[in-house]
Chain A
Amino acid sequence: MIPALETRNLTKRFGSFVATSDVSLSVRPGARHALIGPNGAGKTTLINLLTGVFAANSGQILLGGEDITALPAHARVRRGLSRTFQINQLFADMTPLDSVMLAIGEREGHGRLGWRPLSADRVVADEAAALLERFRLADVMGSATTLLPYGKQRLLEIALAIATRPRVLLLDEPAAGVPEEERHEVLGIVRDLPADVTVVLIEHDMDLVFSFADRISVLVGGALFAEGTVAEISGDARVKAIYLGEDA
């Protein structure tokens, strides 16, 4: 079976600092794959390499068997690789409706210079409305993004990634910073992601990781330290020593 996402000996250096060291990772289609590791382990750097924010120094990235190492970020998205950001990357004074319309419209290739007004695109508008409703954003679709509560912004962050209809979705700490009372909404959305979407999750919340993931990779110092099922990792004494022990 071709892995949904695969890296081969991926390495990234910033000057003399090795942020990602010889990482070979394989994620099977439909997986719920968690990426954990102490702060500074290079989790976000790895995501940035996968999505093309940074260029790798060496190694390969394959999406569904296709080498995407040299592709720019937007081309990777078009091939079905999408992500959310640890720190919200939204369009501050645009509305959730506009943001989602944009994401869907771009997926459908409507974003090239055109004459048709946004409102003429009923199919996209309907899909946007449905998506907003699913993400509990329907009631605020017309207000500026910055005015939304943080939890709602977090939901929009995920909604935008989903709107591109990814085959592989990378979630970078989706629940980070969300107040307790809004947290269950975000986590519910993450749990309810379509089963055919491969999900790679970075998360610090071990409860969430253990309940959500079917496979876990542990990253330490930029290198892959351990990989296995939830049971294997939670039972691994070395992982506990390095990572879990530190957190507890």
Chain B
Amino acid sequence: MSGEPAAPSGQAAALLRRAERWQLWEIALWIIAVAMIFVMPSHMLILTEIAILALLAVSLDLILGYAGIVSLGHAAFFGLGAYSAGLFAKFAITEPVTGLLFAGAVSGVFGLATSFLVLRGSDLTRLMTTFGVAMLLAEVVNQTGWLTGGADGLSGVTVTPILGLFEFDLWGRTGYIYSLIVLMAVVFISRRIVNSPYGLSLKAIKRNPTRAAMLGISPNRRIVVIYTIAAVFAGMAGALLTQTTSFVSPDALAFHRSADVLLVLVIGGAGYLYGGILGAVIFTILRDWLSVITPQYWMFWIGLILIVIVMVGRERVTRWQALLPGSAANREAKARAAALAAARDAA
């Protein structure tokens, strides 16, 4: 009997460690991403685009996949970061990393200020407020043409070498490496966040806010924090876009960007961080391929894909992530499928 009580605690520790372990496919993914620098040197620009979109999607995943907040205006933070970085480079410091941090900070402050809007009400009011905030920002940019260049965009953004050492080259190699490092850093930080007790509380709030409150969790504070963090990351994604293209257009705040990033997350699957990355890869390749076939009308196909995904069922579309061996998504997908089946039986 005396040896027995230790067994469950050892089992618990093993289970907890297993959930946090770096999976083989995670490591493989990053190796591939790095290898791309050498394998596809002529595709650096599109790879950069993917990395930036992935970063934006990861930030959305934190609030949608983990905290369960539906946002129709995530582009607000992206655009704000893009313009902040642009204006910062134009009027203050041209060094990119400083600009990146500045943009993240601005966006984060804005995220903190607007996070209180998503606390109250239903999905619908959240949709409306996030959408409204994004539209509001777009309108501000539009009306302050003297500062932002209005509809023509902000041009003349000069970026000096990163940390004064690495100059942006014509082929976008530096840009890709820079974006990839930021993406890796953000995913690493996010990974720590979601695997911490705090991350666990987010998952709990999303799944059952009533019970979460009955465990002494104040859902509002937790949501404010993650919303702010997501805003910081989204702002950084925007800054990367500005710095790698030396240009900001109002397109950074456009509605379709909020919709695109939702689609990215839907393709890749929400709630396990890597959905944003995989989704960004698929989405960008798909869009490029479609726009080659039908240059102007790829929007049609994107729309069709959205509808098909929803009609087939998001769960089913993203089931492939469960194939990733030993992944948390694997286990969660199994549980989710069982939960769905149980719910269907009950209904």
Contacts and interface: CB of A to CB of B under 8 A. Distances in A.
Interface of A: 51-53, 72-75, 77-78, 82-83, 85, 89-95, 97-99, 101-103, 105-107, 110-119, 121-122, 124-126, 128-130, 132-133, 138, 141-147, 160-161, 163-164
24 contacts: A74-B213, A74-B217, A78-B216, A90-B211, A91-B203, A92-B336, A94-B204, A94-B207, A98-B203, A106-B197, A107-B215, A112-B198, A113-B229, A117-B20, A118-B16, A119-B19, A119-B20, A125-B9, A130-B8, A138-B8, A142-B15, A147-B338, A163-B215, A164-B216
Given A129-B12, A138-B11, A89 B210 contact: yes
A231 to B, nearest CB: 34
A65 to B, nearest CB: 20
Contact of A93 (B13, B17, B335): B335
A146 B335 contact: yes
A77 B216 contact: yes
Given A91-B207, A93-B335, A51 B15 contact: no
B192 A97 contact: no
B195 interface: yes
Contact of B215 (A75, A106, A133): A106
Nearest to B4: A133
A98 B197 CA distance: 9
A113 B198 contact: yes
A102 to B, nearest CB: 5
Contacts of A92: 207-208, 335-336, 339
Interface of B: 5, 7-9, 11-13, 15-17, 19-20, 192-193, 195-201, 203-204, 207-208, 210-211, 213-219, 222, 225, 229, 331-332, 334-336, 338-339, 342
A76 to B, nearest CB: 9
State the majority secondary structure of interface residues on B.
Answer: helix
Contact of B11 (A107, A141, A160): A141
Contact of B195 (A117, A122, A129, A138): A117
A91 B197 contact: no
Closest 7 CB pairs of A and B: A144-B335, A119-B16, A129-B9, A77-B216, A93-B335, A89-B211, A129-B8
Given A102-B197, A130-B5, A119 B13 contact: yes
B201 A102 contact: yes
A111 B192 contact: no
State the majority secondary structure of interface residues on A.
Answer: helix
Contacts of A138: 7-8, 11
Contacts of A145: 335
B17 A115 contact: no
A111 B9 contact: no
A94 B15 CA distance: 13
Given A101-B16, A133-B5, A144-B334, A93 B207 contact: yes
A83 B20 CA distance: 31
A51 B336 contact: no
Contacts of B12: 97, 125-126, 128-129, 132, 141
B333 to A, nearest CB: 9
A52 B213 CA distance: 10
B45 to A, nearest CB: 35
Nearest to B226: A113
Nearest to B336: A93
A117 B198 CA distance: 9
Contact of B197 (A83, A95, A118, A164): A118
Nearest to A122: B13
Given A93-B332, A94-B204, A146-B339, A74 B218 contact: yes
